[in-house]
């Protein structure tokens, strides 16, 4: 049995990739079935002391940050006129849309009772709560990303009128997306401002909303570099940009990422200074904090800088991978590693293997869907019938 | 040792102002290092 793709490529269903992805997804579906029928206790190590774990720390907190590339690139191209980044707008928006979809799925796995998802909007709004702001912005931004992704779908289906209609909404949607992203990326950090006694003082700061927003921009840019690196190899038969153009795009992103990471480092130092927490750097927690700050912020910033100066693409990719890992580590620290840092070791949280499996399943699901869409729709290339609209 | 909140804020905000000044000046150096190739130096 075989499947046809937009480029006439035919591949069997029982490929190693599909088999491995299938096993992961079936395992994830079984665990989620157990979770929804018997509750969190049977599938997670969560407790009243540690109510937020891997599903919130990775799927929501890190997921939202890593999906920030969509609004960063679309605003660069459509608002700031950086047309040279146009070839990566669609992959970035699709990555953003799938990333936010996974955020919602991960959140549902954690919260349960999915039929209550619209409750904040129709039944019990809490407009003074950061959680309400996050849920409203994520719901609206997911809708914006969905609409921003539809031009590729309409071109694929040949719906020219609809394609022209959504094309006219581009600027408005981009502006709306930037506003919503700025709001909820920072508010995810603002949620921790009610936890001064639980979050370790090195991570707790009145500046945490700003830190979350800036680190999300760095994560978004880095994720685009990593995603472009992988998809450039996986979809090399579709990519229309020349190697030189692709290199220039990566070096431009590296320059931006270096400046953003430098700014993030400065904001972290200012937060340390304002809270006067320097003495804590000499403790064990301080060593862990310095590993995150120096190893996954300062080092990739320097690597991006050197890579841009010396035009070394391999170094750009290494720095991007380190930045992605660093932002994930930061969200893990804030959500469960440096959270509840005073409780006895026996009461501390470590994710169950079932939690890890579900998270891996969600990532796999995103990769499978991205692959399916990119093999069929004009994501990596310009549709020949719509050259003027790109 | 700080005896009042005013003492604490005077010290930390004073130190932070100096730090921000150093960071802003440092950013000029960082930017010049980053863009050296563009300027053809």
Is A73 among the domain residues? yes
pLDDT above 90 for A124: no
Per-residue pLDDT, A8: 44
**Which of B12, B23, B36 is the closest to A276 by Cβ?**
B12
A322: its two tokens: 């380190």
pLDDT band at residue A382, thresholds of 50, 70 and 90?
Answer: confident
A235: its two tokens: 């979809």
Q: Considering only residues A12 and A254, tell me which one the structure prediction assigns the higher pLDDT.
A: A254
Task: Note down the domain range covering A140.
Answer: 17-376
B-facing residues of A in 289-328 (CB < 8 A) are: 305, 308-309, 311
The Cα A202–Cα A124 span in angstroms is 35
pLDDT digits (tens, 9 = 90+) for A336-352: 999 999 999 889 999 99
Enter the pTM of the model: 0.91
Residue A266, domain CATH:
1.20.1630.10
The 3-class SS string of chain A reads CEEECCCCCEEECCCHHHHHHHHHHHHHHHHHHHHHHHCCCCCCCCCCCCCCCHHHHHHHHHHHHHCCHHHHHHHHHHCCCCHHHHHHHHHHHHHHHHHHHHHHHHHHHHHCCHHHCCHHHHCCCCCCCHHHHHHHHHHHHHHHHHHHHHHHHHHHHCCHHHHHHHHHCHHHHHHHHHHHHHHHHHHHHHHHHHCCCCECCCCCCCCHHHHHHHHHHHHHHHHHHHHHHHHHHHCCCCCCCCHHHHHHHHHHHHHHHHHHHHHHHHHHHHHHHHHCCHHHHHCHHHHHHHHHHHHHHHHHHHHHHHHHHHCCHHHHHHHHHHHHHHHHHHHHHHHHHCECCCCCHHHCCCCCHHHHHHHHHHHHHHHHHHHHHHHHCCCCCCCCCCHHHC
Is A129 among the domain residues? yes
Question: Do the chains contact at A270 and B34, CB–CB below 8 Å?
Answer: no
**Which of A258, A262, A273 is the closest to B15 by Cβ?**
A273
Is A177 among the domain residues? yes
**Chain A closest CA to B17's CA: distance in Å?**
9
Is A12 among the domain residues? no
The Cα B8–Cα A204 span in angstroms is 18
A388: its two tokens: 């003027």
Per-residue pLDDT, A20: 95
How many CB atoms are located within 10 Å of the residue A80 CB?
Answer: 9
The Cα A362–Cα A226 span in angstroms is 18
pLDDT digits (tens, 9 = 90+) for A103-122: 999 999 999 988 988 888 88
Question: Do the chains contact at B11 and A275, CB–CB below 8 Å?
Answer: no
Per-residue pLDDT, A349: 93
Domain count, chain A: 1
Is A7 among the domain residues? no
pLDDT band at residue B40, thresholds of 50, 70 and 90?
Answer: confident
Look over chain A and give the mean of its residue pLDDT values, rounded to a whole number.
Answer: 91
pLDDT band at residue A52, thresholds of 50, 70 and 90?
Answer: very high
pLDDT above 80 for A281: yes
Give the three-state DSSP class for B14: helix
Is A383 among the domain residues? no
Is A9 among the domain residues? no
pLDDT digits (tens, 9 = 90+) for A305-345: 999 999 999 999 999 999 999 999 999 999 999 999 999 98
The Cα A61–Cα A45 span in angstroms is 18
**Which of B19, B31, B34 is the closest to A273 by Cβ?**
B19
A343: its two tokens: 């409780």
Upper half-sphere CA count for residue A264 (Cβ side, 13 Å) = 29
Q: Provide the 8-state DSSP code for B4.
A: S
Q: Is the ipTM of this complex over 0.90?
A: yes
pLDDT digits (tens, 9 = 90+) for A199-255: 999 999 999 999 999 999 999 999 999 999 998 888 877 777 888 889 999 999 999
Residue A65 and residue A22 in contact, taking contact as beta carbons nearer than 8 Å: no
Partner B contacted by A278 (CB < 8 A): no
The Cα A68–Cα A61 span in angstroms is 11
Chain B residues whose CB is inside 8 A of the A258 CB are: 34
Q: What are phi and psi of A9, to 5 degrees?
A: -75, 135
pLDDT above 60 for A5: no
Q: Provide the 8-state DSSP code for B22.
A: H
Chain A residues whose CB is inside 8 A of the B12 CB are: 273-276
A304: its two tokens: 């991006």
Is A251 among the domain residues? yes
pLDDT band at residue A4, thresholds of 50, 70 and 90?
Answer: very low
């Amino acid at each position: 049995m075989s499947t046809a793709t937009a480029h006439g490529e035919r591949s069997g269903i029982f490929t190693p990739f599909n088999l491995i992805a299938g096993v992961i997804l079936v395992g994830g579906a079984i665990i989620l079935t157990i979770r929804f029928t018997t509750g969190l206790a049977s599938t997670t190590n969560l407790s009243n002391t540690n109510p937020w774990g891997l599903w919130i720390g990775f799927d929501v907190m890190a997921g939202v940050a890593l999906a920030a590339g969509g609004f960063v690139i679309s605003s660069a191209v459509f608002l700031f006129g950086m047309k040279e980044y146009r070839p990566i707008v669609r992959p970035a928006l699709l990555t953003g849309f799938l990333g936010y979809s996974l955020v919602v799925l991960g959140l549902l796995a954690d919260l349960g009772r999915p039929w209550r998802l619209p409750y904040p909007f129709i039944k019990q709004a809490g407009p003074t709560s950061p959680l309400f702001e996050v849920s409203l912005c994520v719901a609206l931004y997911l809708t914006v990303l969905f609409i921003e992704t539809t031009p590729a779908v309409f071109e694929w289906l040949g719906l020219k009128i609809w394609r022209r209609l959504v094309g006219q909404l581009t600027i408005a949607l981009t502006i709306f997306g930037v506003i919503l992203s700025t709001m909820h990326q920072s508010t995810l950090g603002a949620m921790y401002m009610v936890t001064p006694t639980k979050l370790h003082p090195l991570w707790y700061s009145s500046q945490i909303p700003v830190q979350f927003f800036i680190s999300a921009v760095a994560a978004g840019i880095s994720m685009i570099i990593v995603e472009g690196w992988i998809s450039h190899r996986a979809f090399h038969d579709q990519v229309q940009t020349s190697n030189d153009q692709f290199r220039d795009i990566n070096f431009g992103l590296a320059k931006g990422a270096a400046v953003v990471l430098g700014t993030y480092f400065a904001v972290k130092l200012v937060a340390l200074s304002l809270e006067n927490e320097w003495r804590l750097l000499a403790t064990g927690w301080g060593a862990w904090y310095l590993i995150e700050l120096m190893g996954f912020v300062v080092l990739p910033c320097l690597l991006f800088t050197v890579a841009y100066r010396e035009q070394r693409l391999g170094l750009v990719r290494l720095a991007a991978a380190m930045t992605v890992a660093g932002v994930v580590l930061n969200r893990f620290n804030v959500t469960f590693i440096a959270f509840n840092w005073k409780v006895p070791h026996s009461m501390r949280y470590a994710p169950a293997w079932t939690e890890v499996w579900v998270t891996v399943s969600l990532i796999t699901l995103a990769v499978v869907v991205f692959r399916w869409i990119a093999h069929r729709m004009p994501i990596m290339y310009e549709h020949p019938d719509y050259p003027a609209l790109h | 040792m700080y005896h009042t909140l005013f003492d604490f804020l005077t010290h930390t905000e004073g130190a932070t102002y100096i730090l921000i000044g150093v960071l802003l000046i440092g950013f000029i150096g960082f930017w010049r290092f980053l863009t050296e190739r563009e300027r053809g130096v």
